[in-house]
Amino acid sequence: MIQRFSIFLMAAMCMATLPVWAQQPCPTFEVTVNSAEDQLVLAINGADKPEDQLAALDTFVKDHPDSKFMPCVNEYYASVNVKLKDYDKAIEYGEKDLTANYQDLNLLFSLMRAYASSTQVSDTFFDVIDNRVPAQAKVETASPQRPSKATDEEWAKIQKESQDLAKDSHDYAVWAFFQVAPRVTDPAKQIQVLDAFIKAYPDEEKNHELQLDTMYFADYQKMGNLEKTVEYGDKVIAADPNNVAALNTLGLIYAFYAHPASVDKGAAYAQKALAAAQALKKPEGMDDAAFKKGQATQIGMANLTLGYTALIRAEKSGKLIPAINELKLASTLLEGNPALQGQALYFLAYAYERGYPPNHRGAMEALEKAVTLPGPMQGQARDLLAKVRAAVK
């Protein structure tokens, strides 16, 4: 069996974000002393720099292209390229082994590190996380063999190292998943990815409940699935009562899009969103301008919902001033979000027209801006503007 990996292994372990103990590269390969493969291992372990390790690998491949040791060579290439921060190359070499039906935990760790540190995302990565790591961890750690001459103390240490490696495999896979999963841009695909992860790691559903629920919430929102958006939005809010984005989203859904709509629920969520948005603290390292813009948008969304619900209530009470004040503020704060700003301007104009006497000038001013903003209310704003102009004549 290969025994000369301690130096290489320690260097690789230093790169991990989580501790990974007792990883053994190529555990199924045997190397004959003084063979070309043995000389390669010695060269890698004795190299001071990863560039020298890479050169040794290149030389071996050139001189021994048909070596049965090639899966282990690919594994070394993957590990060395991770150290060199050439993550695409590390992924390329790691996946060569998987395609050839070779894997071990050291190889899988290299692939997870490479993916987590790169910008890549693929089905192969999720297969590694959900299927290959749990299966390989069982192979390499479930039933360690006691060496015939091992003392009780040595045997206890071997068992402890196996348990640690199994835990590290699990923990590192979970960590890597949350680095890579957000790169999936198709919401339907990301939901599949989340479902598969929870099936593979059922205990992590509770450990990462807020993070998972937030991702589900965003995915269903992108898909326009209002029922699921509300379901996961409420889960997010239960865990994080001041989550402004979730509060505002549910406020908008109940006020504008739910069937039937609920003015009371929409206003309640919006009121909580407004209070939470006003109390936001700038995250450390965030640009002041970016923070203020984001905060203004969240406040504006709450004002939009509150203005619209006040407008609906005014149908009975006749009190339009609260609606006008909220919608006027929203139309200013939502600058840069054309769809929502256009919505605020349209309903502001509608409120002006519902007054007695109607404020045609104010309505036209709002609508003339609304018709320039792409969004769901642009056509209605154009129609209402034509009616207001006709009334003025």
Give long-range contacts, CB 8 A cutoff, 24+ apart: 46-53.
46/7, 50/11, 50/80, 50/83, 50/84, 51/84, 53/8, 53/80
Closest CA to 245 of 272, 284, 281: 272
Helices and strands, counts by H and E, the chain:
20, 0
pLDDT at 310: 97
Place of tokens 């001013």: 365
Tokens for 263?
């003015």
| pLDDT given for residue 23 in this prediction | 60
Domains and CATH numbers, the chain: 6-142+157-184 (1.25.40), 279-392 (1.25.40)
- Output the DSSP codes for 229-269: HHHHHHHHHHH-TT-HHHHHHHHHIIIIISSS--HHHHHHH
Give the whole-angstrom CA distance, residue 331 versus residue 241.
Answer: 26
Task: Specify the pLDDT at position 2.
Answer: 37
pTM recorded for the entire structure: 0.86
**What is the residue-level pLDDT of the chain in tens, covering all 393 positions?**
333 333 233 333 333 334 443 467 888 888 889 899 889 989 998 999 999 999 999 999 999 999 999 999 999 999 999 999 999 999 999 999 999 999 999 999 999 999 999 999 999 999 999 999 999 999 988 888 888 888 989 889 888 988 888 899 999 999 999 999 999 999 999 999 999 999 999 999 999 999 999 999 999 999 999 999 999 999 999 999 999 999 999 999 999 999 889 999 999 999 999 999 999 999 999 999 999 999 999 999 999 999 999 999 999 999 999 999 999 999 999 999 999 999 999 999 999 999 999 999 999 999 999 999 999 999 999 999 999 999 887
Looking up tokens 């969520």 gives 269
pLDDT at 12: 35
Q: Six-digit token pair at 169?
A: 């495999």
Question: Could you read off the pLDDT of 188-220 as tens digits, one per residue?
Answer: 999 999 999 999 999 999 999 999 999 999 999
- DSSP state at residue 279: T
Angle at 332 between CA 331 and CA 338, to 5 degrees: 60
